[in-house]
Amino acid sequence: MCRTFDHGAVVTHTIHNHQRHQDWDNSLPPVLSIAPGDEVLFETVDAWGGEVKPDSTAAEVPFMSKEIGNPTTGPVFVDGAEPGDALRITFLGFDMCGWGWTCVSTGFGILADEFPGPELMHWHYDSHWAESRAGRVPVNPFPGTIGVAPAKPGRHSVTPPYPGTGGNLDVRDLGIGSELLLPVQVNGGLLSLGDTHAAQGDGEVCGSAIETRIDVACRIELEKGIDLATPRFTTPGPVCRHVDQKGYDVTMGIGPDLKVNAQDAIRRMIDLQSARHGLAPAEVYMLCSCCADLRISSFAGPFDHVVTCYFPRLVLD
């Protein structure tokens, strides 16, 4: 069955969400072979394979099967793709389900020792806003995980990012119209994607964003002999959907260690918003993961560096 998206093209290839895998592995047989320039719809499940339900509670989080994390739909074999080439993936459209979740679980997040969980926040969203018990954030859909098979044989976890093949990149600007270039290491590339998000702040600080099921329409093209060391992408214009109308609260971490600085900036934002709005610290932590941006604001010399956390005021006003 064909699917038509706002860009006007008719997507004739569909990969269904049961055609998914848990590891990168160049021995996996492709579920679809395409010609360069074809458009494909990837049906997905969320980051925990649909185990979180709209009536799930935080108490259930420790008993969920974390080994199902970040299932990816695919792989797709692209005719003519060889090592040294690159796949050009243009994101054409997102078909969203309207419900998602954010959680804090043991071992994840920039403040994992301070927020071991379990915590769970539910979201309901349309094409513009996602609403939760703690606040609302602008919707900006994208796939958190997208990559190709590595040349190294065997199974490789889908959880981390990889410099040579992509993977769990969690780059929120891979939205509609963005073009991602992925290095090819094996014949056909063997492209897969998943871990779709309705919104995320830069940093995804608690370890999850608004995790949700989104079907992703892409055009997949081939760049011969480009020999990329790492993925790169371009955007069609201004990035994301910022909420500048009421400005931002900005906290800082200052010191020689960027990770410590980032932790300090997040701690100070949690303290600020918890005190100002009467929210539990864990709720602010999850909100930050969905809408606040970590930035390296100063790294200019042989002295302390500055990391800032930008939290849009409109989210809680």
Distance between start and end Cα atoms, the chain = 44
**Same domain for 277 and 212?**
no
Residue 104 confidence (pLDDT) above 90: yes
Q: Residue type at 168? A: N
Q: What is the mean pLDDT of the chain?
A: 93
Q: Residue 46: which of 97, 116, 120 has the closest Cα?
A: 97
Which of these, 73, 12, 11, 36, lies nearest to 188 by C-alpha position? 36
Q: For residue 286, give the CATH number of its domain.
A: 3.10.28.20
Can you tell me the mean pLDDT for 198-209?
96
Which of 310, 313, 297, 181 is CA-nearest to residue 245? 313
Two tokens at 288? 């930050």
SS3 state at 316 = coil
Same domain, 186 and 269: no
Range of the domain at 194: 3-230
DSSP assignment, residue 8? S
CATH number of the domain encompassing residue 225:
2.60.120.580
Per-residue pLDDT, averaged over 284-309, amounts to 94
Whether residue 115 is found in the same domain as residue 160: yes
Q: Please report where in the chains the tokens 């119209």 appear, as a residue.
A: 177
Same-domain pairing of 142 and 204: yes
Residue 191, SS3 per DSSP: strand
pLDDT tens digits, 143-197 = 999 999 999 999 999 989 999 999 999 999 999 999 999 999 999 999 999 999 9
For 231-268, the pLDDT digits (tens) are 999 999 888 666 788 899 999 999 999 999 999 999 99
Instruction: Give pLDDT tens digits for 18-29.
Output: 999 999 999 999
What global pTM score does this model have?
Answer: 0.94
62-95 per-position pLDDT tens digit: 888 655 678 999 999 999 999 999 999 999 999 9
Of 299, 148, 296, 155, residue with least CA distance to 230: 148
Give domain status of residue 287, yes or no.
Answer: yes
pLDDT digits (tens, 9 = 90+) for 31-61: 999 999 999 999 999 999 999 999 999 999 9
How far apart CA 106 and CA 97 sit, in angstroms, is: 27
Q: Quick one: how far is CA 220 from the chain centroid?
A: 19
Residue 287 CB neighbours (<10 A): 29
Provide the residue count of the chain. 317
**Is 144 in contact with 209 (CB distance < 8 Å)?**
yes
Residue 235, domain member (yes or no) = no
User: How many domains does one find in the chain?
Assistant: 2
Q: Is residue 238 situated within a structural domain?
A: no
Same domain for 226 and 259, yes or no, is no
304 and 255 in a common domain: yes
pLDDT given for residue 66 in this prediction: 59
